[in-house]
């Protein structure tokens, strides 16, 4: 098995967790109803762009 860092150190896992938290807050009514669409749209746009950036520029393992 290949050596990998612990799962809690993964930037992608943290990005996914924050995205999930924002979605859960919208679903459970924590975010005001009039702001849900703007906040969820911004979250999808930001995290959607952030994942490829993290994978491209912040992955230390090289393909062999």
pLDDT of residue 57: 84
For the chain, the structural domain boundaries read: 7-57
Q: Looking at residue 28, what is its pLDDT? A: 95
Q: Measured between alpha carbons, how far is 24 from 30 in angstroms, rounded to an integer? A: 8
pTM metric for this prediction = 0.74
What are the helix (H) ranges across the chain? Answer: 11-27, 36-57
Sequential pLDDT tens for the chain (64 residues): 566 777 778 888 999 999 999 999 999 999 999 999 999 999 999 999 999 998 888 777 665 5
Contact between residue 39 and residue 31 where contact means Cβ atoms under 8 Å apart? yes
Structure tokens at 31: 């975010």
């Amino acid at each position: 098995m290949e050596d990998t860092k612990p799962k809690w150190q993964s930037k992608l896992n943290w990005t996914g967790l924050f995205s999930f938290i924002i979605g859960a807050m919208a679903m459970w009514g924590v975010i005001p109803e009039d702001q849900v669409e703007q906040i969820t749209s911004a979250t999808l746009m930001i995290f959607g762009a952030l994942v490829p950036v993290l994978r491209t520029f912040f992955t230390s393992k090289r393909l062999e």
